[in-house]
Amino acid sequence: MATSVRARPDGSPPPAAPPSSPGPRGRRRSPGGWRSTLYRWDLKAIPYVFIAPFFLTFAAFGLFPLIYTGWLSLNRVELGGDPTWKGLENYTDLATSEFFWNALFNTFTIGVIATVPQLLMALGLAHLLNYKLRGRGFFRVAILAPYATSIAAATLVFAQLFNTDYGMINGVLGWVGFDPVNWESSKWPAQIAISVIVTWRWTGYNALIYLAAMQAVPQDLYEAASLDGASRWRQFISVTIPSIKPTIFFTIIVSTIGATQLFGEPMLFGGSVGISGGSGNQFQTLSLLMYEKGWVTGALGQASAIAWVMLLLLLLVGGVQALVSRHNRKKLGG
């Protein structure tokens, strides 16, 4: 995150900037003028040569498309046709479109259901893994296994497990004495099922990130807390959590970015009606709506406007995060 590049979870100061190199003066100027010219040129230009591949790739495949998408969003464009200028019409159309509000709301609710329990469970798991354990390596790799599973593979497996008629999850529920749940066609069950897929894939990954941050917490903080008679739970709340706050922020931001872009899980979960997010659009996310507008309806201007709304949402989240972390730094007097 741009705002927290220098912050470090363990509270240590950022690494000192490397001393700037004294340059070619370290070397006696050689009589062969061309060599030293070449050498000086090498020293001046080479950093730019090294960073060029990234910035060229970004310019071609990131920045240019980003700006062009912004321009397209102000036009009416049919797939394969020429753009006609419409100003903000695409955006005003979105504001009055029930499909857009539905998708925005779904993105938000699935995002919350998929992110909040996931990060809380990850925090708990990290705490457990932080004890002295037998088989630590096994547990780490086991909870990371879902991360190795692709969106497509995970969703296809869970779609079977969540199948209303023959899926194992309804089977287990029936065995315990519940009625079968309609996981695909009812709104909230479908959103919960999709959130379960996201949670399954990412909980272990976040737990390992928290674990690394927890292990960087200085031991003497815990010792001091113990001497003050703090229980283990108290130590977790008053020592562990505050110490890894920057890392928690990092995971919240990354998960939020991910949740805003949800596409593959709802699409594949919905099977033949995946693009529309179920037969009643009950789990159509912004990404799905954008894809539907662009590649099914062929309205590229509308699709571009949705993409830009997504960027604005993320900027909003980033702004809030920046404010909160600044507020926190002020409180710490740092």
Partner 1 sequence: MAHTLDRSPAESGIPAAAPAARPGRRFRQTAGRQHHAGPLTYVLLVVAAFVSLFPLYWNLVAASHSGERVVEAPAPLLPGNRLLDNLSFAWNQVDMGEALINTTIVASLVALSTVLFSTLAGFAFAKLPFRGRGMLLSLVVATMTIPPQLSVIPLYQIITDLGWFDQLQSVVLPSLVAAFGVFFMRQFLVEALPMELVEAARMDGAHSLRIIWHVVFPVARPAMAVLGMLVFVQAWNDFFWPFIALTPDGNPTLQVALAGLGAGNHTVDHAVVLTGALISTVPLLLVFAFLGKHIVGGITAGAVKS
- Subset of 133-152 contacting partner 1 (CB under 8 A): 133, 136-152
Is residue 161 a contact residue for partner 1 (CB under 8 A)?
yes
Candidates 76, 94, 119, 158: give the one binding partner 1 (CB under 8 A).
158
Cβ-based neighbour number of residue 269 at 10 Å: 22
113 versus 129: smaller Cβ distance to partner 1: 129
Site track for partner 1 across 187-206, x = CB under 8 A? -------------x---xx-
The binding track of 171-190 with respect to partner 1, each residue x by CB under 8 A or -, is x-------------------
Residue placing its CB nearer to partner 1 in the complex, 99 or 200:
200
The residue within the footprint of partner 1, chosen from 75, 268, 276, 325 (CB under 8 A), is 268
How many angstroms separate the CA atoms of 207 and 203, rounded? 6
- Exposure string for 149-181, b = 16+ CB within 10 A, e = fewer: eebeebbeebbebbbeeebebbeeeeeeeeeeb
Handedness of CA 203, 209, 212, 217 (dihedral sign): negative
3-class SS of residue 78: strand
Distance CA 258, CA 310 (A): 12
Minimum distance of partner 1 from residue 223's CB (angstroms): 8
Closer to partner 1 at the Cβ: 32 or 92? 32
CB 235 to partner 1: min, Å:
9
Distance CA(239)–CA(237), nearest Å, equals: 6
Count of C-beta atoms within a 10 Å radius of residue 193: 24
CB of 322 to partner 1, least distance (A): 12
**215 belongs to the binding site for partner 1 (CB under 8 A):** yes
- Residue among 219, 227, 229, 233 that touches partner 1 (CB under 8 A): 219
Contact flag: residue 81 with partner 1 (CB under 8 A): no
Q: Restricting to residues 94-133, which ones interact with partner 1 according to CB under 8 A?
A: 124-125, 128-133
Token pair belonging to 264: 């593959």
Rounded-to-integer distance, Cα 293 and Cα 304, Å: 9
